[in-house]
Amino acid sequence: MKDLRVLFRWLGGALALAGLAAILAGLARREVVGLFSGDLALGVLGWGAFVELLVSFGVAGLYDTVHAAIVSTLPKVKSSGLENLEIWAGLGLWVVGWGLLSQGFTGPEAAASPPSAAVGTPLHPRIAQYRDFHWGTLAAYGLGFLLAEVAMLGLFVLLVGKGAQAGAEGGGLGHVTAFLIAFGLGLLLAALGGFLGAAHSGRLSTPEATIAILYFGLPVPIVLSLMTQVGWLMLHVGVHLREVAYLSAQLGENRPELGYWLVFGALALALVLGLNLGFVATSSGRLDLKLTYESFIANRHVQVFRPRLLLSIFAVLILGIVPPLVLYLIVMAAEQVVERTRIRHLGLKDPLLASEALHALKKRGQTPTAMMTTLSVGGVGVGVMALIIVLSVMSGFELDLQSKILGTNSHGVVLKYGDAMPEWREVMDKIAPVKGLAGQTPFVLNEVMISSDGNISGSMIKGIDPESVGTVTDLPKYLKRDGLDCPSCGKLEWLTTPEKIVRARLTPMGEPMLDEKGGAAVDWPKPERKSGLEDDPLIEAPKPDATKVLPGILLGKELALSLKVQVGDRVNVVSPLGGELGPQGPMPKSRPFKVAGIFYSGMYEYDSKFVYIDLHQAMDFFNLKGPTGLELKFEDVDNARRLTRQIYDLLEGYPYRTRDWGEMNKNLFAALRLEKLVMGIILSVIVIVAAGLIVATVIMLVLEKRKEIAVLKALGVSDGGVVKIFLTEGLQIGIAGGLLGLVAGLGWCLFIEKVGIKLDPQVYYIPALPVRIEAFQTVLSVVVAVLITFLASIYPALEASQVEPVEGLKSE
């Protein structure tokens, strides 16, 4: 009979699966799966939708008729009873399969013994009172989770909206701050829901938690993920949540979903933490979060905070495994020698003392659990250390890149629909009072080709106002080397006063030097070239005014290298569209410039692509009535988005438009951030492995202490008290490892920062490994590690609480 029941289960399961497959195949062949996908999904997710599923199958059966009636013009699907066979057969199989399955589980159990003497007596109250589902708990979990999500979205939108409005008077909140506040509230609400729910039922109630997360929590991230794809949602929901989508999209290139699901995961984690806390805190019958005897017992069990243990793990983290091991062996050997000599000496006086000392020496070995504890602490430490170092180095690279990009580019721009902004002075005056604006400068941007005798190169040309450009970009700084003027790099002022340009000349050693006359404004003629100006045969006729001074131009270091020019040399700027209309369309236009300076930003992209000329030269060259727009710099880069929007509002929108640097370099920074996130997740795997070690350690502790757990229960420790004891043990391991990892990681970061690890500048364009310790992510690494270890020790702690007192109290 028992074997038959097992057969029923397997056969029933297989039949139901086959039936479902047949139904799906039938629907797929009719290409109507999409029509019923919602019903199917609901059916798969939960039993409640069983009827829904049946209805959908019924509709599927009728589909042909409906289809034929409505769209008779389309190629008609053959409609016959046989055609629906697979769906109906599948449905039949499905029902039969489930029937068998239920038989397999509910078949009658053969009575093993005759009825006991207890027949007829009232049911034991504990069994009579037993409830396996608490609706109140489900409500607390579900509503807590839903409320957390909704409140988080609402608060975030509110704060960001407020921030944008309040920005005019100063104050207001950036996206990140608003997110952190809303996120904190969400975590708190989810944890609170979990706490109240578990406190209500007096246990963990995992089924309720699962249902709450699936049915109450899941819809929100699903709706958010579909928001951008479903037009209806976009219209009704998306418009209100566009700031949410914007922030989320910062995480990954056009992947806001990643952000939603990460937050969802964090909220689910908060719920789990909250319900654990609720169970543990209330299992003694009242709210009790104290850890007096629990930590007293836990301390004796794991003994993590011994200086010797902490010191040795720290040594391993900082120096690696081998050197401390060698040191340890040497010290141990020395200690043994000393100790045994002492014992021999004692033995000469009193043999009893010697045997006692020898016994003590032998007893000092470590238990397996103590070894496991050490390993666990070390594992968590390594994980946290790796997280901190790698994230700090990545932050260093990011900061380096950001400073290079922002050094060359502005934090934001004001542009105008159409081509130029002749009224730029008025616009500048208008936005000048905006609080948080650090500087503004007009610019012209266009694409040209640069040619010299040696070479030709496509470039971005930028007309700048040398007076104010320094308030927005670091260009003046890039024209210096180590903060000093140098002859080979020229000067920014020479853009407007090209007649002062001093030619740089290289010494035989390759060192630049001034010519003998010092700072005299002499243009040294090149012997192989006749003269500076006259020989431009392409478009313009040789100018009669040979003494006219050429306007200045600034080139990037890499560009200057590839064009083989130095300060004072001549280059031609060719614009394919700038000239008059010829018979074959626009004629190219060329104009010679004299190199007034060579800048070095440290970013290859810019050093090889950008050239700067004076704003008025550029307007003249491109026949513009005004600059392309204004470049802006803000006091705080992170406020760029908010402030540019504020400026947009100030200029009353059209025809003006604004963009911030985040938008302009969206992909680059999104990729960087995603990379960091992925790196963090991958490195967390180390912590998770260490958490596995903690699970093993705590399980070993539980096994070792079964008898003691039974005794403690007999002495009146509640289930929650036992859980607290073992959670504390896991947590102690986690905290010890986390703190060691923090100290070691910071130590390594400081080492990298102060001493430095050299990089090949040819390859990396940066001389040494950059590192930037960000307090937030460092603290987050430790917190995440401790959280993971806490979560890891929940299972063994629960196992410990399940030990029955009688089981451990059997006399041996």
388 vs 803, which CB is nearer to another protein?
A: 803
Binding test (CB under 8 A) with another protein, winner from 129, 229, 584, 762? 129
With CB under 8 A as the rule, give the number of residues binding another protein. 44
SS3 sequence of 419-468: CCCCCHHHHHHHHCCCCCEEEEEEEEEEEEEEECCCCEEEEEEEEECCCC
Q: Is 528 among the residues that bind another protein (CB under 8 A)? A: no
Binding test (CB under 8 A) with another protein, winner from 73, 116, 507, 762? 116
Q: Which residues pair with 463 in a beta bridge?
A: 444, 613
Q: Can you tell me the distance from the alpha carbon of 730 to that of 722, in angstroms, rounded to the nearest whole number?
A: 13
Q: Can you tell me the distance from the alpha carbon of 115 to that of 539, in angstroms, rounded to the nearest whole number?
A: 115
The greatest distance separating any two alpha carbons of the chain, rounded to the nearest whole angstrom, comes to: 128
**Binding pattern to another protein, positions 202-221, x when CB under 8 A?**
x-------------------
Q: Can you tell me the distance from the alpha carbon of 497 to that of 284, in angstroms, rounded to the nearest whole number?
A: 85
Contact status, residue 94 vs residue 25, Cβ threshold 8 Å: no
Residue 290 CB, nearest approach to another protein (Å): 6
Residue 302 CB, nearest approach to another protein (Å): 10
Residues 693-712 that bind another protein (CB under 8 A): 707-708, 710-712
Stretch touching another protein by CB under 8 A, among 12-20, 253-261, 265-273, 279-287: 279-287
113 vs 229, which CB is nearer to another protein?
A: 113
Stretch touching another protein by CB under 8 A, among 123-131, 244-252, 466-474, 631-639: 123-131
198 vs 317, which CB is nearer to another protein?
A: 198
Q: Is 3 among the residues that bind another protein (CB under 8 A)? A: no
Q: Is 809 among the residues that bind another protein (CB under 8 A)? A: yes
Q: Can you tell me the distance from the alpha carbon of 734 to that of 742, in angstroms, rounded to the nearest whole number?
A: 12
Residue 371 CB, nearest approach to another protein (Å): 17
630 vs 701, which CB is nearer to another protein?
A: 701
Q: Can you tell me the distance from the alpha carbon of 267 to that of 247, in angstroms, rounded to the nearest whole number?
A: 18
**Binding pattern to another protein, positions 627-656, x when CB under 8 A?**
------------------------------
Residues 322-341 that bind another protein (CB under 8 A): none
Q: Can you tell me the distance from the alpha carbon of 19 to that of 57, in angstroms, rounded to the nearest whole number?
A: 12
Residues 720-739 that bind another protein (CB under 8 A): 720-721
Q: Is 811 among the residues that bind another protein (CB under 8 A)? A: yes
200 vs 301, which CB is nearer to another protein?
A: 301
C-alpha distance across the termini of the chain, in Å: 39
User: DSSP assignment, residue 328?
Assistant: H
632 vs 798, which CB is nearer to another protein?
A: 798
Binding test (CB under 8 A) with another protein, winner from 92, 761, 767, 805? 805
Stretch touching another protein by CB under 8 A, among 59-67, 119-127, 453-461, 505-513: 119-127
| 440 class by beta-carbon count within 10 Å (0-12 exposed, 13-18 middle, 19+ buried) | buried
CA 575 to chain centre: 43
Q: Is 107 among the residues that bind another protein (CB under 8 A)? A: no
Q: Can you tell me the distance from the alpha carbon of 610 to that of 445, in angstroms, rounded to the nearest whole number?
A: 10
CA 79 to chain centre: 54
Stretch touching another protein by CB under 8 A, among 208-216, 281-289, 637-645, 665-673: 281-289
84 vs 276, which CB is nearer to another protein?
A: 276
Stretch touching another protein by CB under 8 A, among 20-28, 76-84, 125-133, 372-380: 125-133
Residue 724 CB, nearest approach to another protein (Å): 11
CA distances (Å), origin 589, targets 118, 536, 540, 580? 108, 12, 9, 8
Retrieve residue 526's tokens.
Answer: 């090149």
359 vs 754, which CB is nearer to another protein?
A: 359
Concatenating the DSSP letter of every residue in 553-589 gives: EEEEHHHHHHHT--TT-EEEEEESSSS-EETTEEPPE
Binding test (CB under 8 A) with another protein, winner from 307, 537, 544, 716? 716
742 vs 798, which CB is nearer to another protein?
A: 798
Stretch touching another protein by CB under 8 A, among 79-87, 122-130, 581-589, 689-697: 122-130
Q: Is 812 among the residues that bind another protein (CB under 8 A)? A: yes
Q: Can you tell me the distance from the alpha carbon of 192 to that of 277, in angstroms, rounded to the nearest whole number?
A: 10
DSSP-derived 3-state class of residue 592: strand
Residue 798 CB, nearest approach to another protein (Å): 14
Q: Is 172 among the residues that bind another protein (CB under 8 A)? A: no
Concatenating the DSSP letter of every residue in 1-49 gives: -HHHHHHHHHHHHHHHHHHHHHHHHHHHHTT-HHHHHHHHHHHHH-GGG
663 vs 708, which CB is nearer to another protein?
A: 708
Contact status, residue 599 vs residue 555, Cβ threshold 8 Å: yes
72 vs 116, which CB is nearer to another protein?
A: 116
Q: Is 365 among the residues that bind another protein (CB under 8 A)? A: no
339 vs 708, which CB is nearer to another protein?
A: 708
30 vs 724, which CB is nearer to another protein?
A: 724
Q: Can you tell me the distance from the alpha carbon of 249 to that of 742, in angstroms, rounded to the nearest whole number?
A: 30
Q: Is 547 among the residues that bind another protein (CB under 8 A)? A: no
HSE-CB at 587 with a 13 A cutoff on CA atoms is: 10
Retrieve residue 351's tokens.
Answer: 């043999």
Binding test (CB under 8 A) with another protein, winner from 70, 112, 484, 763? 112
Q: Which residues pair with 550 in a beta bridge?
A: none
Q: Is 718 among the residues that bind another protein (CB under 8 A)? A: yes
Concatenating the DSSP letter of every residue in 275-327 gives: HHHHHHHHTTSS-----HHHHHHHHHHH----HHHHHHHHHHHHH-SHHHHHH
Residue 119 CB, nearest approach to another protein (Å): 9
Q: Can you tell me the distance from the alpha carbon of 396 to that of 509, in angstroms, rounded to the nearest whole number?
A: 35
Q: Can you tell me the distance from the alpha carbon of 388 to that of 390, in angstroms, rounded to the nearest whole number?
A: 6
User: Treating both helix axes as pointing N-terminal to C-terminal, what angle do 719-754 and 256-282 enclose, rounded to 10 degrees?
Assistant: 140
Retrieve residue 159's tokens.
Answer: 């704060």
Q: Is 564 among the residues that bind another protein (CB under 8 A)? A: no
SS3 sequence of 695-710: HHHHHHHHHHCHHHHH
**Binding pattern to another protein, positions 284-303, x when CB under 8 A?**
xxx---x-xx--xx--xx--
Binding test (CB under 8 A) with another protein, winner from 698, 719, 744, 793? 719
Q: Can you tell me the distance from the alpha carbon of 356 to that of 219, in angstroms, rounded to the nearest whole number?
A: 69
**Binding pattern to another protein, positions 176-205, x when CB under 8 A?**
--------------------------x---
161 vs 202, which CB is nearer to another protein?
A: 202
Residues making contact with another protein (CB under 8 A): 112-113, 116-118, 121-126, 129, 202, 283-286, 290, 292-293, 296-297, 300-301, 707-708, 710-721, 804-806, 809, 811-812
